Amino acid sequence: MTMDDFKKKPDFGSMNGGSLKKAGKAAVIAAVIIAVLIIIGGSFYSIQEEEQAVVCTFGVPKAVTQSGLHFKIPFVQTVTKVNTTIQGFAIGYSSDSELNYNGAEGADNSMMITSDYNFIHVDFYAEYRVTDPVKALYASQDPKLILANIAQNCIRTTIGSYGVDAVLTTGKNEIQSNIKNMIMEKLDSIDIGIQLVNITIQDAEPPTDEVITAFKSVETAKQGKETALNNANKYRNEQIPSAEAEADKIVQDAEADKQARINEAEGQVARFNAMYDEYVKYPAVTKQRMFYETMEDVLPGMKILIQGADGSTVQQIMPLDKFN
């Protein structure tokens, strides 16, 4: 092999260096493209109908309430979405679908004492929604926990002012209303961005089986009383129209009889006055006509007997039932 052959061989070192430079440029370009895509992708966010967003710019939060696609400055603005639909949690019992803030002592938290010093288990369910997303995120660490603690306090205060019979039977609606108003007042005073929608009694029962049985008997008796009252009211409502119709009929019949008697009396008065006027004009003729008319009225109802010449009524020759 000659020296010319060595001179004609390619320079592999220079070729590898050029390929590495091209690969490095391609990697840089790919990284830039990926970074640009990440920046562009992080510059937009969307809000659903049931959400609101809080955009924080250099530590200053601002609420975004309009749903749809929105722009934010990457690495400068942060977005936190807040659910504004109605949510709920249980108080006093465990719920699989909702968060229960009773912890390990959930069963004990349902035990309360009434104004007549009776123990009772009462379970509630509270519903709330976020009204101010900024305050809900930054006014407190856990507004839901605060609401649960306020609700517990208001529930125990209210239950403690009612007797056990009212809590178990007749006073549930009033108790729920009073608790709701008390919680809403306290939430308004602290202003943490959430609002109570409703709170309801899910269950209320005494702690022992004997008391439960007794109260169930009381409740059954009250329901029987209500049923009897409803049946009585139904019967009354059915009978009153009939009685009123009968009374109206009696009154109408009396009015008709009264009017008939008045008309008859007026007719008799008119006939008497007419007869008197004729009598004043022709006394003898009127007397004779009145006699004949009277006899016409009397004789058809008389039983005629023909007696003997001696006046004896024993021998009856011919009975006549009708003189005419």
The structural domains of the chain, with segments of one domain joined by +, span: 24-82, 87-209
Each residue of 3-32: b (16+ CB within 10 Å) or e?
Answer: eeeeeeeeeeeeeeeeeeeeeeeeeeeeee
Going by CATH, does the domain composed of 87-209 fall within 2.40.37.10?
no
pLDDT on residue 37? 60
What is the per-residue pLDDT across 3-45, written as a single tens digit (0 to 9) for each? 455 444 455 455 455 666 777 777 777 776 776 666 655 567 7
- Judged against a pLDDT cut of 50, whether residue 183 lies above it is answered with yes
> Is the sign of the CA dihedral 233, 235, 240, 241 positive or negative?
positive
pTM of the predicted protein model: 0.53
CA pair distance 163, 178, nearest whole angstrom: 15
CA pair distance 164, 169, nearest whole angstrom: 9
What is the per-residue pLDDT across 94-133, written as a single tens digit (0 to 9) for each? 544 444 454 434 445 678 888 888 888 889 999 999 999 9
